[in-house]
Amino acid sequence: MAKILKNNTANIVPISDVGAVVPASSNYTIQPYDYLLFTNSSDVIIQVSNGTLTVNDGSVDLSITDGIDLIKGIFQKNRIIGNTDATLIGNVTDRLKVIDNDVVSAITDLASTLNDNDDVKIKGILDKTSSTSNAITYTEEGDRRRLDVLAKITGNIPVTAAVMCYSSKKTFDLDDTDVALTGTLTDQYSYSGTGKLIGFMMGFDKKDSEVQLLVDSDEVFKLEAGYLDKFNPVSGGMNAPDMLGIYFEPNNKTIIYYPRYPICFETDVKIRARTTSGNVTRIQYIVSIEKIS
C-alpha cells in the first residue's frame, strides 16, 4: 500500500518538519524509508486535516481520518470496490460485481439489513458467463443452512480478480500384477489429468531396481533402491524418510515416497522403473492422488 500526498492547491505545500515539499497541484510519494519520519510529522497532519493535502493509498483517495491513520501507520480497514463507477461499497443500494472484460456478473437484491439469525435471501442473479439458471442456491438441511455458489469464468481474468474453486476426489490406484523389468525405464503407472500427487509405494522382488518420477513431463527424481537403502535407518543409515520424504523399505523391497506437501500437476504423472542388475520383477504399487475436475 502506497502513501501519496496530493496537493489540492495551486501553491507548493512545504512540510517543514520533514524537509519535504509537495509540488503545486501535484503529488508527493512518501518513500518507505521515510515512513517513520512522516509518522512523527505534525506539519503533514495539519495539512491533511485542513484539506490542503489528500492522502492516496495507491488506488483511491482516503478520507481525512483514514489518510491520517495511513500516515501514522495505523492498519487500514479493508475496503471493497464496486458499483459501476468503481467507488467504495457502503450504501444499501451498492452492488458487488466481477468484471470479465465486458461481461459483468452481479449479485442483486440482497437484504438491506440483517439481524442475528436472519436468513440471507437472494432473489436474483445476473450471470452472463454461465448458462446455469440457478447459479446460487439456498437450502435448509435440518437446523443447518447451506448456500451454494456456482461460477463459470471465461476469458482472460487477472489472478487477483477471482476466487477459483474446484471439486476434487482422492483416489488410491493399486496394481499387484507381476511385471518383469528391463534395463530401460518403462511406465509402471501413468495418469493424465490435473490434480495433486500425495505419494506412492512400489514393491519389487529384489532391490536391484531404479524408479523415476515424472510430473508434467519433468523429472522429479530418479533413484536406485540399493542407493536409498544405504540411507535407511533400518540399514544403519540416516533418517532419510524425514529428511527427503523417500526411502527404501528392505524387508518388503519397497520404495516409498511421501513428500511433505502434495505435488501439483497439470497434465500427467508417470512412475517408471527398470532393473539395475539381473532379473527384477515389479510386484505391486499403490499411488495416492487427488484428482481435480
Is residue 264 scored above 80 in pLDDT?
yes
- For 230-258, what is each residue's pLDDT tens digit? 776 655 544 455 567 888 888 889 999 98
Domain containing residue 149: 81-161
Q: Which of the four pLDDT bands, split at 50, 70 and 90, describes residue 75? A: low
The pLDDT, as a whole number, for residue 189 is: 95
- Give the pLDDT band (50/70/90) at residue 72: confident
Q: Are residues 96 and 113 in the same domain?
A: yes
Last residue of a domain, one of 30, 49, 72: 72
Domains of the chain: total: 3
Predicted pLDDT of residue 292 = 77
Which of 137, 161, 185 is where one domain is finished?
161
pLDDT given for residue 129 in this prediction:
35
CATH number at residue 234: 2.60.120
- 290 versus 92: the higher-pLDDT residue is 290
Per-residue model confidence as pLDDT tens digits over 202-213:
999 998 999 999
Q: According to the per-residue pLDDT averaged within each range, which of 23-32, 84-93, 105-114, 163-172 is highest?
A: 23-32
Looking at the structure, tell me whether residues 34 and 100 fall in a common domain.
no
User: Phi-psi bin for 119: left (phi > 0), alpha (psi -120 to 50), beta?
Assistant: beta
Question: What mean pLDDT is predicted for residues 96-106?
Answer: 43
The pLDDT, as a whole number, for residue 146 is 58
Strand partners, 145: 140
Co-location of 183 and 151 in the same domain: no
Same domain for 65 and 34 = yes
pLDDT number for residue 215:
94
pTM of structure:
0.43
- pLDDT at site 246: 85
Q: What percent of the chain has pLDDT over 70?
A: 62
Mean pLDDT, range 1-8, rounded to an integer: 91
- Cα gap 48→293, rounded to integer Å: 52
- Residues 175 and 263 grouped into a single domain: yes
Give the pLDDT confidence of 111-170 residue by residue, as tens digits.
344 454 444 443 333 333 333 444 555 566 565 555 555 544 444 444 443 334 444 567
- H, E, C per residue of 209-265: EEEEEEECCEEEEEEEHHHHHCCCHHHCCCCHHHHHCEEEECCCCEEEECCCCCEEE
Cα-Cα-Cα-Cα dihedral sign, residues 153, 135, 96, 74: negative
C-alpha 192/C-alpha 215 separation (Å) is: 10
Out of 72, 95, 130, a domain closes at: 72
Q: What is the mean pLDDT of residues 166-179?
A: 77
Give the contacts of 207 (CB within 8 A, at least 6 positions apart). 225, 226, 229, 248, 250, 253
| Same domain (yes/no): 175, 234 | yes
For the residues of 116-132, what is the DSSP string, one character each? TTPPP---EEEETT---
Pair (176, 238) in one structural domain: yes
Select from 242, 252, 254 the least CA-distant residue to 211. 254
Q: Based on the domain organization, do 272 and 203 belong to the same domain? A: yes
Q: How buried is residue 3: exposed, middle or buried, by Cβ count under 10 Å (0-12/13-18/19+)?
A: buried
Q: What percent of the chain is modeled with pLDDT above 90? A: 39
